[in-house]
Amino acid sequence: MAGPQKRKRHHKGDTHLKKRWRTRRRTKDLDQIDEDLQIENASKLLHQEIDDDKPGSGQHYCLHCARYFITSEALKSHFRTKVHKRRLKALEIEPYTIEESQRAGGLGSYIHPKKRTMETQPVDDETFDPSKDVDMK
């Protein structure tokens, strides 16, 4: 009779996943970005001091993607990209909390994550309206 100790464990699959995670360029997790979107944090991030170590001296930051851009033009064209629009969609659903996962696991009734509206941050440019030319297919 084979005891539980004799059972083979297959971990081949997750080693390469971990490796990929490690080598990946580290960006913020969605829940961290969610915190950045709180008004007090957002205004700090959007009005940073000039920091020459950051791309564009830290003056052109996309809150939702946690990325710096070199110029305001680059930032604005980023707002029109699929990457950015996908990120907005992803952030429309509130972060999955432990409480929610417990509900999903049968401890209490499951409540669907709240949907909210996510908008591209305003830019100091009256001619620019990111809600125009939205191309989300």
Is the distance from CB of 64 to CB of 120 less than 8 angstroms?
yes
Is the distance from CB of 121 to CB of 42 less than 8 angstroms?
yes
88 binds Zn ion (CB under 5 A): no
Select 66 or 104, whichever has its Cβ closest to Zn ion.
66
62 binds Zn ion (CB under 5 A): yes
Select 60 or 84, whichever has its Cβ closest to Zn ion.
84
64 binds Zn ion (CB under 5 A): yes
What's the closest the beta carbon of residue 36 comes to Zn ion, in angstroms?
12
Task: Count interface residues toward Zn ion (CB under 5 A).
Answer: 4
CA–CA separation, 55 and 17 (whole Å): 30
- The pair of structure tokens assigned to 56 is 């564009």
91 binds Zn ion (CB under 5 A): no
60 binds Zn ion (CB under 5 A): no
Is the distance from CB of 61 to CB of 46 less than 8 angstroms?
yes
Is the distance from CB of 60 to CB of 44 less than 8 angstroms?
no
65 binds Zn ion (CB under 5 A): yes
CA atoms in the 13 A half-sphere facing the CB of 113: 16
The total number of residues written for the chain in this structure: 137
Stretch that binds Zn ion, among 39-47, 61-69, 98-106, 124-132 (CB under 5 A): 61-69
Residues of the shown chain interacting with Zn ion in the complex, contacts defined by CB under 5 A: 62, 64-65, 84
